[in-house]
Amino acid sequence: MYDEQLLDLAASLRDLTETAKAVLRDELRKRELGDPLAPDFSALAKGRADSQQALDAAEDEVAAKPNEYTWKTPLCECASREEAWQIREALRRAGIESWLRDPANYSIVVAADQLEAASAVIANPIPQDIIDESRLEVPEYLPPVCPACGTADPILMAADPSNSWECESCGNEWSDPVDPRPDAS
């Protein structure tokens, strides 16, 4: 029998025969589960069961959460990809690493030990040059359109030194300028 079963049995010791009581007491002592005839036995047995339950619950909770969420903590949600980019750039300049956890609502997470510093950064207005830069930055992520036939979603053939594309419709190949970002300063 398992310990729990044995303890249950011990709780209803009154109903057992004398022989069964003796066997059970010996077994409980062997397993160091306590003497069922001791006055505090019931409370003791219940305490063991409760703490085991609490332990199980705690283990379930840990298992349910992926590890990274124990140290990455939510900072804020943004209204747009542009705003998320601005905030992450402001954090990056302050030396704070950040991640976009959920692209659907642009929620940004930071390491838990940098939350305070990150909150201080975003409490200030985003510097104008970051806002300017983000407006240049965003179109870069839009998938290009074939300059020959206008078909969207070309195949990315190479990314070095700049993105090279091939159109699936007409076979046209072209490359982005090597440094497409004009100097913001």
Closest contact distance (angstroms) between CB of 143 and Zn ion is: 13
Closest contact distance (angstroms) between CB of 169 and Zn ion is: 5
Q: Based on the shown chain and the rule CB under 5 A, indicate whether residue 165 belongs to the binding site for Zn ion.
A: no
Q: Based on the shown chain and the rule CB under 5 A, indicate whether residue 155 belongs to the binding site for Zn ion.
A: no
Query: Which range in 19-27, 105-113, 131-139, 141-149 contacts Zn ion by CB under 5 A?
Result: 141-149
Q: Which of 172, 173, 174, 176 binds Zn ion (CB under 5 A)?
A: 172
Q: Which of residues 87-116 bind Zn ion (CB under 5 A)?
A: none
Closest contact distance (angstroms) between CB of 175 and Zn ion is: 14
Q: Which of 86, 114, 146, 165 binds Zn ion (CB under 5 A)?
A: 146
HEC secondary structure over the chain: CCHHHHHHHHHCHHHCCHHHHHHHHHHHHHCCCCCCCCCCHHHHHHHHHHHHHHHHHHHHHHHHCCHHHHCEEEEEECCCHHHHHHHHHHHHHCCCCEEEEECCCCEEEEEHHHHHHHHHHHHCCCCHHHHHHHHHHHHHHCCCECCCCCCECCEEEECCCCCEEECCCCCCEEECCCCCCCCCC
Beta bridge partners of 111: 72
CA distance 32 to 23: 14
Q: Based on the shown chain and the rule CB under 5 A, indicate whether residue 148 belongs to the binding site for Zn ion.
A: yes
Give the x/- contact pattern for Zn ion in 21-40, rule: CB under 5 A: --------------------
Q: Based on the shown chain and the rule CB under 5 A, indicate whether residue 130 belongs to the binding site for Zn ion.
A: no
Instruction: Identify whether the C-beta of residue 59 lies closer than 8 Å to the C-beta of residue 76.
Output: no
Q: Which of 57, 149, 157, 158 binds Zn ion (CB under 5 A)?
A: 149
Closest contact distance (angstroms) between CB of 172 and Zn ion is: 4
| Chain contacts with Zn ion (rule: CB under 5 A) | 146, 148-149, 151, 167, 169-170, 172
